Structure 1
Amino acid sequence: MRLAWKEIRVVVTLLLATGVSVNAQNSGTPARTESSAVSPGAGNSRQARLNLQQCIDIAQQNNIQIRQGQLTVANSNLQVRQARLNQLPSAIFQANQALNGGRSINPQDNTFVQQTINSSSYQLNTSATVYNGMVLRNTVRQNELALQAGQQELTATKNNVSLTIAQNYLNVLTGTEQLAVAERQADVTRAQLDRTQKLVNAGSVPEANLFELRATLASNELDIINAQNTLDLAKVSLLQAMNVPIDQQFDVEPINVPDPGLNPYEANVQQLFDVASTNLPEIKGADLRVQSANLGVQVAKGGLYPTLSLNGNLSSVFSSAAQNVIRTGQSVQQTIGFITDPTTGAQIPINASVPGTDVTGIKYFTQLGNNFNQSLSLFLRVPIFQGNLSRNRITTAKIQQQNAELTAMNTRLTLRQQIETAYTNMRAGANRYRATQAQVASLERAFQVAESRLNAGAINATDYSIAKSNLDRARASLVQSKYDYVFRTKILDFYQNKPLSFN
């Protein structure tokens, strides 16, 4: 059975509603609930038995697209946190330690000195944006919407993985039931062959009937082989969808699906679309991308507005060249100049009495306290011309906005087409199931008559084989049409956001 991609979305919840439990037969121990514990392992001496939820858990753990989606959500969450932090004031502390030799500048009085100077400087700067055209706030909201969109898209990816698993799971169930039908058909032929053998031995029927039944049995055995091959391929597809090596031995839990009713479906296409367009994560994600793109335009427009910021600064310095000059209270003789003797031309010093002083270095923390400086300023930045950069950013943001809107429109269009297809397939499935039911009922009566007539010798084995082959094909078709119709009706229930069950 092949179901359309989006049509089978409902199957996940549908099959889980049966509440079947799993009996993993690994060395006789009960199965664990973790998906990693129920993965069928190579080399298991006993065959594992998996239900749909375990298959989905294994697939979602192994799927690369889901992992990529999780990383995308994590990155979007980080961008939201950073955008929120960007609204807070920034603070930077700087420290500098220097050792200068030779002719240097004394940081205390900016004079040149000929000595080695050890200096330190400390600075604390802080800045807060007062106004910038709402860029920071709109950026936060834009990133929050992008995060929500990423979460919805991750959910959609998980749904798609679950859909793939569900579709392959259903193929395994259908293949299993069709194999059982083929085996039952072979059993009926064997029983008839035994009866015919006895009648041939008794001389009641010709031996040709025996040859015809043996040919029919060979055909039934070929049907069994074909059904087994189909089932094996379905299991391979299921393992590949779970990203598990195909050298695994496992069975799937059967689901008791009751025979469906044939009453007309109560909702039309428009009603299905109205409900589905508000529930599916693809639609929600597309709408959130549109809202995020709208805010992206506002962020780009913020580049046209002035930026006003408040800046603060604290600083201090230390220099080993800084000194304190202290008067001692005593006078000393000091040469203050020279005069030239007019006769001899010799330089005669001129001495004067000056107050005595004592020079001492200034302590480290004393200098830091004396040189402590504070400043507060407002900074205004007005964009006048930047090569049309802001205008181009606005245009780019508007293009992205239009693209997001078109994506949302296309998502809704795709959804509507999927619902229309699902609804049409449901009606076709109902007609096919109704016709197959009637066909099987008629062929069962025809086969019973043919079997009775064969036992009575009224018909040959060829006519019997034809009647049996027709019934066998009809029963196999009934199995497929039953699953097809049931799940197509449940798919439409899913679009209506109805609780799904088999009751």
Structure 2
Amino acid sequence: MKRVAMMRTVANRLFRSPKWLAGVLLVSAAYAQPTQSAGPNSNRFSLRQAIDIALQNNLTVKQGQLQVQNSDLQFYQAKMNRIPTLNAFGSQAFSSGRNINPTTNTFVERAVSSNNYQLSTSVTVFNGFAIQNNIKQTDLFLQSSEESLKATQNTVALTVVQNYLNVLNNEDQLDIARRQVEATRGQVERTQRLVNAGTVAEATLYDIRAQLANDELAIVNAQNNLDLAKLALLQTMNLPGTGSPGAIEVERIQFDDPAVAPYTASPQQVYETALGIMPEIKAAELRVKSDALGIDVARASMYPSLTLNGNLSTLYSSVGLQRLVSDGTLIQQPVPGLFVNMNGTPQQVFQTQQGGTFVPYAYGEQLRNNLNRSVSLNLRIPIFNNMQARTRVTSATITKQNSEIAADNARLQLRQQIEQAYTNMLASANRYRATQVQVASLEQAFRAAESRLNAGALNSVDYNIAKTNLDRSRANLVQAKYDYIFRTKILDFYQNKPLSF
């Protein structure tokens, strides 16, 4: 349940925060109508559903979630290291022959059964601030893990968006191919009538029918490309692609033809903005800070440490001290070796004792009578420990330097990605503009060729060439349109801009 709630939170961020590119591409209806996640038997997906499912099923995301959980556990343990430890100890022993009475510390010739109980506690008073620095270190590492998870989720979301747009693009390509077939069929019918009237040679009809066959083949190819695009989308969502990928559907997103205009920011401006918002950069910088504190934690082993200890113990022995149970009588017993001189005559000294019998102390009485309490303050001063402390410090320093290089590499990769994205955006813009002009020109040329063909002034070969050029140009225009849209949104994503259509 915790994982599901976490993924739902991520999905909501995808569609509320402009920082997440995936939420950009939804039309207003998607915001007005909250959609449910597609179940295993559903064959229709919205962009939001596709992203939700991909984030839930992606194995790299799951690994990132486990890393966050582990980092959170380490942070929790670091905080728990501040509180005292408490341990209990108990033992049961039995021995025979010559033994030491644990209550009198004298030898006895009999079997002895004994119990020993201890309760000890210890708290660190000072250890070179290792505990405090370790808490800060694990906290920063936890934040770094969370940012790394966000970066992974970004990558998954971007892949879903790209594959989703690829499906839409191939659907448009299939629609263009079908319209081309309908147009060619109409031309076949017109040519048939002209042939029947004797206005056009029958060879022209054969050429038009050949063009129809080519257009029908284009439908098959477009359908195959669409199935492959849908399969790629299913695989991105980590859903089985067995059976017919064409059985699934995606919700359409209506795109207006984009207006090609110079981008408002330079690559350097995009990069400077991205440095402060991209999670992979934050993760790398937090890791450097965490490893810097790791040096302080390692250096703490070179300082004295002070601990406060407390101990509570007691014991029981079957040959322990016994107590006298009086029967009310008095007994005169001589004191061995004690005499007094009375009128020159030594006289034995007697002592009066209560009469009765000796019985062992009860179990609970022995435990209470033998109770011992102690408190100690222990100081440990490291003098020489085989260079282990200095080795740990050096190792922690190397780890920090490696993290700094990793952070520099993350910034370098970000710069290169932005430069590549900017270059791709310019190339797609130029291609889109050129393809628009090409389509407009070829549409005029095709209309002229179609009129001349109907009038019998153009042969079928030239007509087919004009139609093929127009069909290819229209397909290229659709591809250029989607490519330009995606490239511009990538740059907007790096700048944390509100993205909408």
TM-score (norm 1): 0.88
3-state SS of 2:83 partner: coil
Aligned to 2:10: none
Q: 1:398-409 residue pairs with structure 2 within 5 A?
A: 398-409=397-408
State whether structure 2 residue 49 is matched by structure 1 residue 50. no
Residues 196, 109 of structure 1: alpha-carbon distance in 2 compared, 3 angstrom cutoff: same
**CA positional deviation for 1:20:** 3.8
Aligned pairs for 1:6-155 within 5 A = 11-20=21-30, 33-35=36-38, 37=39, 39-40=40-41, 48-155=43-150
- The gaps in structure 1 that reach 5 residues or longer are 1-8, 24-30, 42-47, 338-349
For residue 412 of structure 1, what is the aligned residue in structure 2? 411
Is 1:313 paired with 2:337? Answer: no
Residue 497 of structure 1, CA deviation: 0.8
Match of 1:280 among 278, 281, 290: 278
- Classify the secondary structure of the residue corresponding to 1:262: coil
Q: Secondary structure at the match of 2:261?
A: coil
- Structure 2 residue 391 is matched with structure 1 residue 382: no
AA in 2 matched with 1:231? L
2:438 aligned with 1:439, yes or no? yes
**3-state SS of 1:255 partner:** coil
State the distance in 1 between where 2:86 and 2:41 align. Answer: 56
Number of positions where the alignment pairs a residue of Structure 1 with one of Structure 2: 467
Q: Tell me the equivalent position of 1:331.
A: 332
**Contact 2:27/2:253 (CA < 8 Å) preserved in 1?**
no
Which residue is 2:264 aligned to?
Answer: 266
Stretch deviating more after TM superposition (328-337 or 451-460): 328-337
Residue 222 (str. 1) matches residue 220 (str. 2): no
Decide whether the 8 Å contact of 1:436 with 1:477 is kept in 2.
yes
Question: What is the distance in 1 between the residues matched to 2:496 and 2:232?
Answer: 29
* 8 Å contact from structure 1 (residues 443, 467) kept in 2: yes
What is the SS of the residue equivalent to 2:90? strand
How many Å apart are 1:137 and its aligned residue?
0.9
Q: Which residue identity does 2:222 align to in structure 1?
A: A
Q: Which structure 2 residues correspond to residues 100-499 of structure 1 after superposition, within 5 A?
A: 100-246=95-241, 247=243, 248=245, 249-321=247-319, 322-325=321-324, 329-332=330-333, 355-356=352-353, 358=356, 359-499=358-498
Residues 337-385 of structure 1 deviation map (CA, whole Å, 9 limit, x = unaligned): 9xxxxxxxxxxxx998554554232233333232222111110111110
What TM-score do you get using the length of structure 2 for normalisation? 0.88
**Offset at residue 118 of structure 1 (A):** 3.2
Deviation of residue 96 (structure 1)? 2.3
Quick one: distance in 1 between partners of 2:362 and 2:337?
31
Q: Deviations over 1:376-402 (max 9, x none)?
A: 111011111011000010010000000
Q: 2-side partners of 1:490 and 1:68: how far apart?
A: 28
Please, what is the CA RMSD of the aligned residues? 2.4
- Secondary structure of the equivalent of 1:231? helix
For the residue of structure 1 that corresponds to 2:49, the secondary structure is helix
- Please report how far the alpha carbon of residue 329 of structure 1 lies from its aligned counterpart in structure 2 after TM superposition: 2.6
Q: Percent identity?
A: 52
SS of residue paired to 1:158: helix
3-state SS of paired residue (1:33): coil
Structure 2's unaligned 5+ residue stretches are 1-18, 339-346
Residue identity opposite 1:500 in structure 2: L
Partners of 1:18 and 1:422 in 2: CA distance: 27
